[in-house]
Chain A
Amino acid sequence: MLENVKKFASEFFVTGNTLIYAADISIVLTSLSIVFALTYFKKWGWLWREWLTTVDHKKIGIMYLISSLLMLFRGGVDALLMRTQLAFPNMEFLNSEHYNQIFTTHGTIMILFMAMPLMFALFNLVVPLQLGARDVAYPFLNAVSFWLFFFGAMLFNLSFVVGGSPDAGWLSYPPLSENTFSPGPGQNFYIWGIQISGIGSLATGINFLVTILKMRAPGMSLMKMPLFSWSVLSSCIAIIFAFPVLTVTLGLLFVDRFFGAHFFTLDGGGNPMFYINLIWMWGHPEVYIVVLPAFGIFSEVVSTFARKKIFGYKSMVFALVSISLLSFFTWVHHFFTMASNTVDAFFAVTTMAVAIPTGVKVFNWLFTMFRGRIQMKTPMLWMTGFIPTFLVGGATGVMLAVAPANFQYHNNYFLIAHFHQVLIGGVTFGFFAGMYYWWPKVFGFMLNEYLGKWAFWLWNIGFYVTFMPQYALGLMGMPRRSYTYGWDMGWWPLNFVSTIGAFLMGAGFVFQVWQIVYSIIHRQRDLTGDPWDGRTLEWSIPSPPPVYNFAVIPQVEKQDDWWYKKQNGSHRNKAVKYKPIHMPKDSGIPFITGFFWFVAGFGFTFEWVWIGLSGLIGVAVSLFTRYLQKDTDYYIPAEQVEATESAIGGARS
Chain B
Amino acid sequence: MTSVLSHQKDHEHEEHGHDESSLKIFGFWIFMITDLILFATLFAAYVVLRTRYNGGPTGEELFSVPIFTTSTIILLTSSFTSGLAVLGLKNGKVNNAVGWLIITVLLGMAFVVLEITEFASMVDEGASISTSAFLSAFYVLVGTHGLHVSVGIVWMIGAIIQLMRDGISEVTTRKVNVVSLYWHFLDVVWIFIFSVVYLMGVM
Q: Given the complex, which residues of A lie within 8 Å of B192, measured CB to CB?
A: none
Q: How far is the CA of A329 from the CA of B171 in the complex (A)?
A: 41
9-residue interface stretch from B46-54, B61-69, B84-92, B107-115: B46-54
CB closest residue in chain B, given A261: B136
Given contact pairs A218-B17, A263-B136, A628-B158, A269 touches B53 in the complex (Cβ within 8 A): yes
Beta-carbon contact of A630 and B16 below 8 Å: no
Query: A245: which of B37, B130, B132, B139 is its contact (CB, 8 Å)?
Result: B37
Q: Does A487 contact B (CB under 8 A)?
A: no
Q: How far is the CA of A612 from the CA of B116 in the complex (A)?
A: 21
Query: A260: which of B12, B130, B155, B166 is its contact (CB, 8 Å)?
Result: B130
Q: Given the complex, which residues of B lie within 8 Å of A251, measured CB to CB?
A: 140
Given contact pairs A262-B132, A579-B15, A628-B158, A248 touches B48 in the complex (Cβ within 8 A): no
Closest chain-B Cβ to A269's Cβ sits at a distance in Å of 3
Beta-carbon contact of B37 and A553 below 8 Å: no
Q: Given the complex, which residues of B lie within 8 Å of A249, measured CB to CB?
A: 41
Beta-carbon contact of A240 and B41 below 8 Å: no
9-residue interface stretch from B24-32, B72-80, B180-188, B193-201: B24-32
Beta-carbon contact of A262 and B54 below 8 Å: yes
Query: Is the interface on chain A under 10, 10 to 19, 20 to 34, or 35 or more residues?
Result: 35 or more
Q: Does B18 contact A (CB under 8 A)?
A: yes
Query: B16: which of A134, A241, A628 is its contact (CB, 8 Å)?
Result: A134
Q: Does A215 contact B (CB under 8 A)?
A: yes
When each residue 631-653 of chain A gets 1 if its CB lies under 8 Å from chain B and 0 otherwise, what string results? Answer: 00001000000000000000000
Q: Does B35 contact A (CB under 8 A)?
A: yes
Closest chain-B Cβ to A138's Cβ sits at a distance in Å of 6
Q: Given the complex, which residues of B lie within 8 Å of A241, measured CB to CB?
A: 33, 37
When each residue 537-570 of chain A gets 1 if its CB lies under 8 Å from chain B and 0 otherwise, what string results? Answer: 0000000000000000100000000000000000
When each residue 240-277 of chain A gets 1 if its CB lies under 8 Å from chain B and 0 otherwise, what string results? Answer: 11011101110110011001111100011111001000
Q: How far is the CA of A84 from the CA of B149 in the complex (A)?
A: 53
Beta-carbon contact of A202 and B23 below 8 Å: no
Beta-carbon contact of A620 and B154 below 8 Å: yes
Closest chain-A Cβ to B99's Cβ sits at a distance in Å of 20
CB closest residue in chain B, given A218: B17
Query: Which of A138, A248, A249, A579 is packed against the most chain B CB atoms within 10 Å?
Result: A248
Q: Given the complex, which residues of B lie within 8 Å of A294, measured CB to CB?
A: none
Q: Does B106 contact A (CB under 8 A)?
A: no
Closest chain-B Cβ to A217's Cβ sits at a distance in Å of 8
Q: Given the complex, which residues of B lie within 8 Å of A630, measured CB to CB?
A: 166, 171
CB closest residue in chain A, given B55: A269
Closest chain-B Cβ to A63's Cβ sits at a distance in Å of 23
Q: Does B148 contact A (CB under 8 A)?
A: no
9-residue interface stretch from A163-171, A206-214, A318-326: A206-214
CB closest residue in chain B, given A258: B129
Beta-carbon contact of B136 and A255 below 8 Å: yes
Query: Which of B14, B16, B33 is packed against the most chain A CB atoms within 10 Å?
Result: B16
Beta-carbon contact of B133 and A244 below 8 Å: no
Beta-carbon contact of A261 and B154 below 8 Å: no
Q: How far is the CA of A260 from the CA of B53 in the complex (A)?
A: 15
Q: Given the complex, which residues of A lie within 8 Å of B155, measured CB to CB?
A: 627
Beta-carbon contact of B23 and A263 below 8 Å: no
Q: Does B45 contact A (CB under 8 A)?
A: yes
Q: How far is the CA of A274 from the CA of B28 in the complex (A)?
A: 30
24 of the cross-chain contacts (CB-CB < 8 Å) are A138-B27, A202-B34, A207-B27, A210-B26, A210-B27, A210-B30, A217-B17, A241-B37, A244-B34, A244-B37, A244-B41, A247-B38, A259-B130, A261-B129, A262-B136, A269-B132, A269-B134, A270-B133, A270-B136, A274-B48, A278-B41, A582-B15, A627-B158, A627-B162
Known contacts A217-B17, A271-B133; 11 additional CB pairs below 8 A are: A209-B30, A259-B129, A261-B130, A262-B136, A268-B136, A269-B52, A270-B133, A271-B49, A553-B17, A579-B11, A582-B16
Binding site for B on A (CB under 8 A): 134, 137-138, 202, 206-207, 209-210, 213-215, 217-218, 240-241, 243-245, 247-249, 251-252, 255-256, 259-263, 267-271, 274, 278, 553, 579-582, 620, 624, 627-628, 630, 635
Binding site for A on B (CB under 8 A): 8, 11-12, 14-18, 23-24, 26-27, 30-31, 33-35, 37-38, 41-42, 45, 48-49, 52-54, 129-134, 136-137, 139-140, 154-155, 158, 161-162, 166, 171, 175
Which 8 pairs between the two chains have the least Cβ-Cβ distance?
A269-B52, A269-B133, A261-B136, A260-B130, A244-B37, A244-B38, A269-B54, A248-B41
